[in-house]
Amino acid sequence: MKSPQIVLATGKRKTAIARATVRKGVGAVRVNDRPLELVEPELVRQKIQEPLLMVGDRSRTLDISVNVTGGGIVGQASAARTAVARGLLTWLKDDQLKEMFRRYDRSLLVNDPRRKLPKRPGGRGARKRRQKSYR
């Protein structure tokens, strides 16, 4: 079977949405048009690199471009990580890799469904309430 010219993959976390494009290339990984090496803080960079490190040398022949919108930096990193992992899986078509991703961390393949609890009346947030006085 012929390998595809380009693969599109998505990932979500809270309100962050990531779209990854995988194509043949020289191993360049870009997040919002910036090289992955320049992404700060380092924790975010390492989070996005996890699926690439697990794949190993097979990712050296692929260019990956990720566009991320919405949310905060950690939510964006988790969304980008999921998008990259799904893109690699679709491109490589490897069942062992899929099982390895699933054993390591299920959120590499599945969007995290958790959302922020909405604020409710009677307090400053979702859970915090104003104090009650009886006297």
Residue 72's Cβ-count burial label (10 Å; 0-12, 13-18, 19+) is exposed
Q: 3-class SS at 89?
A: helix
> With contact defined as beta carbons under 8 Å apart, do 110 and 81 qualify?
no
- What's the rounded Cα separation, in Å, for the pair 94 and 111? 20
pLDDT tens digit at each of 135 positions of the chain? 566 789 999 999 999 999 999 999 898 899 999 998 888 889 999 999 999 988 888 888 889 999 999 999 999 999 999 999 999 999 988 889 889 988 988 888 998 888 889 999 999 999 999 998 998
CA-CA-CA-CA torsion sign (104, 106, 111, 114)? negative
Secondary element (H or E) of residue 52:
helix 42-55
* Alpha carbon distance, N-terminus to C-terminus of the chain: 78
Query: Which one, of 10, 16, 14, lies nearest residue 85 by Cα?
Result: 10
Asked if residues 63 and 110 have their Cβ atoms less than 8 Å apart, the reply is: no
CATH of the structural domain 6-106, one choice from 3.40.190.10, 3.30.230.10, 3.30.9.80, 3.30.70.100 = 3.30.230.10
